Amino acid sequence: MVKVVKFGGSSLASAQQFVKVGNIIRSDEARKYVVPSAPGKRNSKDTKVTDMLYQCYALAEEDKDFSAALKKIQERYNSIINGLNLTLSLDEQFKVIAENFKKKAGSDYAASRGEFLNGIIMANYLGYEFIDAAEVIVFDEDGEFEAEKTNKILSERLAKCERAVIPGFYGAKEDGTVKTFSRGGSDITGSIVAKAAHADMYENWTDVSGFLVADPRIIENPESIKVITYRELRELSYMGATVLHEDAVFPVRKEGIPINIRNTNAPEDEGTLIVESTCRQSAYTITGIAGKKGFVAVNIEKAMMNSEVGFGRKVLEAFEEQGISFEHVPSGIDTMTVFVHQEEFEGKEQEVLAAIHRLAKPDSIEIESNLGLIAVVGRGMKSTRGTAGRIFSALAHANVNVKMIDQGSSELNVIIGVRNEDFEAAVKAIYDIFVMTQI
Ligand code: ASP
């Protein structure tokens, strides 16, 4: 049995957290490959080491003195090393980093040092081999991740080593230039390593006990999700539920390796298991609720629209011309509505309207702003009757006016549009009807 374990920044923010991580790893033989993030925040006012590195490198780029900023970063690492009683010095590493900053090695290089150094400490603390991600995670000349090359190099390397630490978040181009994934990218590294190691499980350790059925800022102490499929996860993360980097599912998904989200501060909790498919039904008909505010609905009306071939294409072309992507397009007999992000749309509003007039020649266009979209997601909805009915009666009882309903043909989700100000009440009403009444 092989498990790849990735630990997030808050799990590695201090020596105390390192000790918890060490105990977790040592308590299971199978936890052979470890992917650490850079040290995160120790408290809400703290700064992540990654952000400190970006700031420090910005000084270097402007030819300003960055030595004090770099010293502060070294102090963060030294407090971990000393707290763990390790006989390890990062002086040499910091000398090299300072030289490379002077040579303007790039902000990706700068940010990657957070994981690189934490990986060295972790390997030393565990007695595991250290593998520099720059040697095994490959990017092409344009900075695109090279999945196949990486998998080949990395799996050959891992086959030769029993236990190792591979820092997250970065890799390198063939000429050696360091390149990072987008923020939170250590999740992706963990997934890549799990694939290359043919792992049985990818454990992603963070500071929450998995995914929650609803946003804890709206629902007090929401239930957690025990098992979720990749597709459900995608729907929920798209609508704002963030625990795992969106791209982290791709490497393991094809290999059928489940991801287990676990809590470093509560290792006894089972967390959330993310799987390709399952016969385990969720405890409630729904798996989760997520949503976002800040949408605009552009309502387009034209008599006999239904019989005009190409009408929808022309309308969407108007949005495409302005580089605006649409979220949902519910349509009626003589109407079609396009939901877009308010932020993206605002500056280009009049250009889009003019383009719709020019291309589709509608009778009228109306705009409604400040709308929220809520996704109610669940594999159980397919086999349950009355789900939509329950959602809407709950919303009616909560006095929420429903602006839009969109049920995907997969029957995996129902998307509901409400006014921004009704957003929280709507989420609460849906949570209550499914979770509190336990049906
Ligand atoms: N340290 C990086 C960040 O803060 C990557 C990660 O933690 O996954 O985004």
Of 143, 177, 207, which residue sits at a domain end? Answer: 207
- Whether residue 339 contacts residue 405, with contact meaning beta carbons closer than 8 Å, is answered with no
Residues 201 and 294 in one domain: no
Q: Which of 11, 12, 48, 51 to mutate to test the pocket of ligand 1 (most atoms within 8 A of CB)?
A: 48
Q: Is 96 left (phi over 0), alpha (psi -120 to 50) or beta?
A: alpha
**Which of 207, 231, 263 is at the close of a domain?**
207
CATH of the domain at 341: 3.30.2130.10
Is 325 within a domain? Answer: yes
Domain span holding position 75: 3-207
Same domain as 314, residue 194: no
- pTM for the structure as a whole: 0.85
Ligand 1 contact, 372 CB (< 6 A): no
Q: Is the CB of 191 under 6 A from ligand 1?
A: no
pLDDT in tens, 243-257: 789 889 899 998 999
CB atoms within 10 A of CB 437: 10
335 and 203 inside one domain: no
Q: Is residue 240 part of a domain?
A: no
- At residue 367, the pLDDT reads 95
Q: Report how far ligand 1's centroid is from the alpha carbon of 391 (Å).
A: 37
Same domain, 292 and 203: no
Going by pLDDT thresholds of 50, 70 and 90, the confidence category of residue 407 is confident
CA 170 – ligand 1 centroid, Å: 10
49 part of a folded domain: yes
Q: Is residue 71 part of a domain?
A: yes
Number of structural domains in the chain: 2
pLDDT category, 239, cuts 50, 70, 90? confident
- Residue 277 maps to a domain: no
Same domain as 299, residue 179: no
Residues 181 and 306 in one domain: no
- Same structural domain, 198 and 293: no
Looking at residues 89-118, what average pLDDT do you find? Answer: 97
Q: What is the pLDDT of residue 382?
A: 80
Do residues 297 and 310 make contact, with C-beta atoms less than 8 angstroms apart? no
* Residue 83, in any domain of the structure: yes
Determine the atom of ligand 1 nearest the C-alpha atom of 115: 1
Helix or strand holding residue 35 (H, E) = strand 31-36
Question: Cβ neighbours of residue 271 under 8 Å, at least 6 residues apart?
Answer: 209, 210, 224, 260, 261, 262, 263
Residue 281 lies in a domain: no
Decide: 185 in ligand 1 pocket, CB within 6 A.
yes
Give the CATH number, domain containing residue 130: 3.40.1160.10
Contact 290, 236 (CB under 8 A): yes
CA-wise closest residue to 160 among 135, 194, 195, 129: 129
Closest by CA position to 36, among listed 125, 152, 108: 125
Residues 192 and 331 in one domain: no
Distance 330 CA to ligand 1 centre (A): 37
Q: 240 or 198: which carries more pLDDT confidence?
A: 198
Q: Which of 207, 238, 260 delimits the end of a domain?
A: 207
Q: Is 168 in the pocket of ligand 1 (CB under 6 A)?
A: yes
**CA 150 to CA 139: how far, in whole Å?**
8
Q: Is residue 230 one of the residues assigned to a domain?
A: no
Q: How far is 253 from 368, CA to CA, in rounded Å? A: 39
Highest mean pLDDT among 194-203, 321-330, 396-405: 194-203
Length in residues, the chain: 439
My answer on whether 8 and 106 are in the same domain is yes
Q: Both 196 and 336 in a single domain?
A: no
| Other beta carbons less than 10 A from residue 127's beta carbon | 7
Do 334 and 197 share a structural domain? Answer: no
Average pLDDT over residues 170-193: 97
Whether 67 shows a pLDDT value over 60: the answer reads yes
Q: Average of pLDDT values for 294-299?
A: 95
pLDDT above 80 (res 313): yes
Q: What is the pLDDT of residues 3-35, one digit of tens each?
A: 999 999 999 999 999 999 999 999 999 999 999
Q: What is the pLDDT of residue 379?
A: 87
Same domain, 198 and 77: yes
Beta-bridged to residue 296, according to DSSP, are: 340
